[in-house]
Amino acid sequence: MPKVSQDHLDARRRQILDGARSCFARHGYEGATVRRLEEAIGLSRGAIFHHFRDKESLFLALAEDEALHMADVVAEQGLVQVMRDLLAPRPEGADHPADWLGTRLEVTRRLRTDPEFRGRWAQRSQQLTTATRQRLLRQREAGNLRDDVDVDVLTNFLELVLEGLVSHLAMGLPGAHLTPVLDLVEETVRRHRRSS
C-alpha cells in the first residue's frame, strides 16, 4: 500500500473541517447527523472518522480550529478586527462569517448544557484571552493603548463586546450599521494624545 503524504492528510483534514463547519452552522450539533456530515463533506463516514474519533471530537477540533484562527487575527490585528470580519460581506463562494458564527453559537450552547464539554473547552478558550491580552500589552508598550485602565479590564471589555456582537447577529439582526460602533470600541481603548 502506498504511503499517504502529510500534505494529502492535511488537505483531507481541511476538507472535513470545512464541510463540517457548514453542516454544524446549518443544522446545529444535534441536527448534524452522520448522514448530513457525509453529504456536506463529500466523504464516507469511514473516511471522516478515520481522522476524527467521533462527532464530538470533530466538533471540538472544528471549534479549536476557529479559536486558533481568531487568536491569529487577534495577535496580528486585534480583537476588534475579528468583530469587523464578522460584519464584512464575503464574495460568492468564500467562507462566510455565519459559518463561524454557527460554530460559536453551538459552543456557547454546549457550554451552558454540557459540563464535560465545558471542562474540555475551558483551556482552549483561554487562547483567545491570552492573544487579546498580549496584543493589548504590545499596544500599550508602543504607546497606542490608554494607560489609565488595567489591561485585564480592557481584555474583558473587548471580549464582552464580541459576545454582544455574536448575540446580536445570532438574533438575525442586521450588522451593516455597526461599523461606527466598532470604531467607538476601538477609540475607547486607544490612548488619547493631549494637544498642547
User: In this structure, what C-alpha cell is assigned to residue 43?
Assistant: 466523504
- Cα–Cα distance measured from residue 181 to residue 173, given in angstroms and rounded to the nearest whole number: 15
At residue 90, the pLDDT reads: 59
Long-range CB pairs of 86-95 (<8 Å, 24+ gap) are 86/165, 86/166, 86/169, 86/175, 87/175, 87/176, 87/178, 87/179, 87/182, 95/18, 95/21
In a domain? residue 18: no
Bridge partners, residue 145, by sequence: 190
Which positions of the chain have pLDDT values less than 70?
A: 1-2, 90-99, 193-196
Tell the residue number behind the cell numbers 464580541, with chain if given.
Answer: 162
Whether 87 maps to a domain, the answer reads: yes
CA angle 134, 137, 140 (to 5 degrees): 155
Tally the domains of the chain. Answer: 1
In a domain, 1, yes or no: no
pLDDT at 167: 85
CA–CA distance, 161 with 165 (Å, rounded to integer): 6
Residues spanned by the domain of 173? 56-189
Q: Is residue 150 part of a domain?
A: yes
Query: 55-77 vs 79-87: helix axis angle to the nearest 10?
Result: 110
In a domain, 195, yes or no: no
Residues 6+ apart with CB under 8 A from 189: 136, 145, 146, 149, 154, 157, 158
Tell me, yes or no, whether 127 lies in a domain. Answer: yes
* CATH number of the CATH domain containing 68: 1.10.357.10
In the chain, how long is the greatest CA-to-CA distance?
75
Q: Is 146 a member of any domain?
A: yes
Specify if 9 maps to a domain: no
Q: What is the pLDDT of residue 99?
A: 64
Residue 55 C-alpha cell reads as 462527532
At 118-148, the pLDDT tens digits run: 887 877 778 888 999 999 999 999 999 999 9
Amino acid 39: pLDDT = 95
